[in-house]
Structure 1
Amino acid sequence: MRVLSHGVRAGRRFAPALGLASAMVLATQLAVVAPVAAALPGLTQVTSTGPSNSDWKTWQASCPTDSFLVAGGGRINGGGGQVVMDTMVPVFGGTDLYSVTGREDDSPGFTGDWSITATALCARPPDGWEHAESATGWDSNSSKTLTVSCPLGKRLLGVGVEVNGGLGQVVVDDLRPSADLSNVTITGIEDGTGYAAQWQLQGEVICVTAPAGLARVTGFGVFDSTPVKSAVASCPAGQRVHGVGGEIDSGAGQVRMTGIDLLSDTQVRVTAAEDEDGLASNWAPRAYAICA
C-alpha cells in the first residue's frame, strides 16, 4: 500500500482525457455550494456536469485554489442502466479534483445520449491529511474484493475505485467504508455476460485526523425486484456530509450503481439500475454518509 501525506501530494495521478478532445469546451454546468456548517474548515462542495453524448467519457470536478480534496462522488445521467461507472478517483496535481469515468456495456450498449456529473468535496488543509492506495493482481477471476486502510490513527473521508481493464463489463458492487472509518472495502464483479480477459481492481482512501463527531451513517433501499431504485443516508441534525460510499446487496453483477453522490449537504444518495436483461431476484442499494 502506498501512502502520501499532504506535504508531498503532487504527481500521483493525472486525470484521463475525455473521449473527444473537444468535450472540455462543450456545454457544462458548474455549481459551487457554500457550506452551512462543517467540522472541517472551509468545506465546499463543487459539482460539474459534462457533455451529453453517446461516447464513453470522463468528467471531473475541481477544488478551488489552495484547497484540498477530501472526498468525491459521481452519477450517470441517462444510460438506462447500460452505463458502468467504473472509475471514481481522487486526482492530485496543481489542482485537486475528483474524476469519474463511465462506459457503456459491451452489448447491446446504449443508443441514446448520457452524461456524467462529478462532485468534489474540498476544504482548507485538514489536520493529518494523507492519501493511500492499494490494488489487486491482474487475473480473470469473475469477482475481486480489496480493502484499503488508513494509516494508523487516521480516519477516512474520501474513497475511490478504478477498474483497470473490464471495458464496461465489470461492475463496482461495493464501495463500503467500515463502521469505524478505518478502511474501505471495494468489490468488483463481472457482469452477466462475463469478461474473458484479465482485469484489476484499484482502491484509494483519503484520510485525516478525525474531526469532531465523525461517524458513518447508513441508508437502506427496498429489498425487492424493482429494476431502478435508490437509497438515502442522512446526517444527524447539526452535521453535514464529509464523504460518501455505497453498495449493492445481491446484485450478482447485473445491477449497476448509477450514482454515489450528495443529494444535499446533509444527505448521500445511491442510485442503481438493473442491466438490460434484468434480475429476477431481489436486491437493494445501500448509501453511506460520512458525517461530522
Structure 2
Amino acid sequence: MLVLGVCSLKGGVGKTSVTLGLASAALERGLRTLVVDLDPQGDSTLALAVSGAQGDVAGLLDSPSAETLAAATGSSAWADAGLDVLVGSAASSRHDAYDGAVMDLDRLRFALAWAHDYDLVLVDCPPSLGGLTRTGLTACDRAVVVTEPGLFSVTAVGRAMRTIDDLRRGPAGQLQPLGVVVNRVKARSVEQAFRLEELRGLYGPLVLQPFVPERAALQQAQGAAQPVHAWPGAGAKEVAGTFDELLDRALRAPRT
C-alpha cells in the first residue's frame, strides 16, 4: 500500500483538485483507494459525495483504532466500490495545534495500520504547517507539494520541502518527497513561464512532468461530484491523461 501525501503551504493552489485528480486516475485503473481528508474545510469529502460514515477523521485522531477507522470511513458516490474516504470535518482543527511533540504525530500512521484493503491512500493535508499537516505527512511514504506558477506560491514550496525534510529526519524516516506538482498552467503566460523556469532552477527533477493545465473541465467535474476521467470533452481528457502520468510516477517511485 502506497501512502501519498498531497500538501501545500499556500491556499488556493488546487491541492484538493490534485488529490481528486489522482483519485480519479486510481479509480480508472482499478486501484482500491482511500482518500484521507485532513483539511478542516472538508472539500474532498464534499466533492467525493461520501455516504455511510458514522464518524470523522477528528474522532479517529482522538482515539485511533480499528473501530474508529471503520466508523470514520464512507463510500464515494464516484463508484459502486473501490473508492473510500476518511471523512473530513471542521472538528479536525482541534488537532492542528503543534507543540513539537513527536509522539502525537503518529496518530494517523497508527490508525492506517488497520487499513488493509487498499492499494493506495491519498492524504489531503491542510494548507498550513500545523499539526494536521505534520500528522498526515508522518503517515506517508511519499509526498507531493502542489503549487501554481506564481511568486507567492513558489516561495511556499521551499517551506513545504523543508518541512518534509525535517519530518524524514525525525518521526517519519520513511517519508520521501516525490516532487512538485505544478497546477493551473497556462500555455501562453509570460509570467508563468518565468516562474516555471525558477522552479526548475530551484528543484530540478523534483518538478514533476507533465504540468496540470488550467482547464474548466476539472472544476466542472468536481462541481458535479464526478471523476474527471468520466467527464466529457477534450479538456477533461487532457487533464485525465496528466493525472494518469503523475500517478504512474508515484507508483513507480521506490520506497524505503
TM range (shorter): under 0.3
Taking structure 1 as the reference length, the TM-score comes to 0.25
More strand, by proportion = 1
Higher RCO (CA < 8 A, seq sep 6+): 2
